[in-house]
Structure 1
Amino acid sequence: MTYEPPRPVRGLLLTPEDKEAPARVHRLHLLGLADRPDPALDAFADHLARLTGAPYAMVNFVGEDHQFFAGLCVPAVAPPLREDGSRPEFGRVLPREHGFCPHVVVRRKALVLEDVRDYPRFAGNPVVDEYGIRSYLGAPLIDSSGMVLGTVCAADTEPRVWGRPVLETVKALAADLVVRIERSAEDGLPL
């Protein structure tokens, strides 16, 4: 599959088209990774958050119209208030066009955003306004068949320099997690 850049709309760029989504959803079901939280993936996200020092960390499986955080670590501090005075809740499901992981999945490579406001394509993303996300680091989960299942990622509410060592560690963790996922599916055992 070749990477197709997002289509421009009124000067903004949309989430890229994902032609592999139907096959990915099928593969996720075969691996037992449908839209359900997994305690082992929550523990993985907690470890990733501690390792990177980021308040948010996720194991994210990207479907045709939504993303599902099977592993999730969120800060104890609530996101900023909306203009109407309400607070958004960070759940396990987000629309596909929210966030940065769908870009990682289609690109098939890691994405490092030290300050999302520096990139017009990403600065207007709903997670920037809703949750105050300012920096992001994500790596694809590529299985042995070459299918991108989703991502592992960390996000912060402050701009930050992630650095090459952290990027390489996150990429290695993603590769290790895919091995665990496939071994678990083969053996019929939980992660």
Structure 2
Amino acid sequence: MSYPIPPDEELRLAALYELELLDTPDEAAFDRITRLVAQILNVPISTVTLIDAERQWLKSRVGMEIRETTRKVGFCSHTITLSEPLIVEDASQEPRFAQNPLVTAPGGIRFYAGIPLLSLQGLALGSLCAIDTKPRVISENELAALKDLAAIVTDEIHLRERLIRERKSRQASQQALKAFHQAMESQIERRTRELNLVIESAYDAYVSIDAKGVVLD
């Protein structure tokens, strides 16, 4: 099975890896959202899915035991290429997904609704998903609620991005200051050596005085 590759794939993956969310423990900030999706939309399965280079990894999940699948079977692999929600009312009748093993398996996926989760730069990192094993139609109110919950997940991601940038900015400033101090010390040592060499090799007398005319050396 094939899946679409976003045109900004390299930038997208770089932003995803910078977040350091892949392969991390469960977190309440995300688990609350998937529980709400399951309750509000009355679906048995909900996930916060992140799309890695060759897999989809579930940061949060309700109603699923698995933690990851290959990217080629992931519905979310399609969601991240869209600027709008991906709604599949009956996957068994959808050409893109009808032969997907997640659909053909007993009790497989029929209904899917996914909202892209975007970085601060607008790069799609994954999606918030509502999944059912029965075909269904999503109402306007349900879709609006799913979008609102996806916005909360996105806000959490944006907060982490800002914190990471601030941390890196502080580290860069500290490194720049350290490099400046080292450069100044090196310059002072070099000038001191040069001055000592001039004094030691000079044929004339050398007198060092301060601003008040007091002889120092």
TM-score, structure 1 length as denominator?
Answer: 0.77
SS at match of 1:160: coil
Equivalent residue letter for 2:21:
L
Helix, strand or coil: the match of 1:122?
coil
Counterpart CA distance in 2 for 1:104 and 1:44 is 18
Partner of 2:16: 28
| Mapping 1:91-170, distance limit 5 Å | 91-130=66-105, 131-170=107-146
Following TM superposition, by how much is the alpha carbon of 1:148 offset from its aligned partner in structure 2, in angstroms? 0.7
What's the secondary structure of 1:170's corresponding residue?
Answer: helix
- Give the Cα–Cα distance (whole angstroms) in 1 for the partners of residues 125 and 109 of structure 2: 23
Runs of 5+ in structure 1 lacking a partner?
1-12, 76-89
CA RMSD, 1 decimal: 1.9
Higher relative contact order (CA 8 A, sep 6+): 1
How far apart in 2 are the matches of 1:127 and 1:108? Answer: 24
Q: Does 1:42 align with 2:18?
A: no
> Residue 116 of structure 1 aligns to which amino acid in structure 2?
A
> Aligned AA for 2:19?
L
More helix by percentage: 2
Normalising by structure 2, we get a TM-score of: 0.68
What amino acid maps onto 1:107 in structure 2? L
| Matching residue of 1:67 | 56
Q: Which AA in structure 1 matches 2:162?
A: E
SS in 2 for 1:186: helix
- Give the whole-Å Cα distance in 1 for the aligned partners of 2:4 and 2:67: 21
Q: Is the CA contact (8 Å cut-off) linking 1:54 and 1:156 kept in structure 2?
A: yes
The number of residue pairs the alignment matches comes to: 162
Residue deviations 1:33-75, cap 9 Å, x none?
A: 1222432222321121111111110000001100000011116
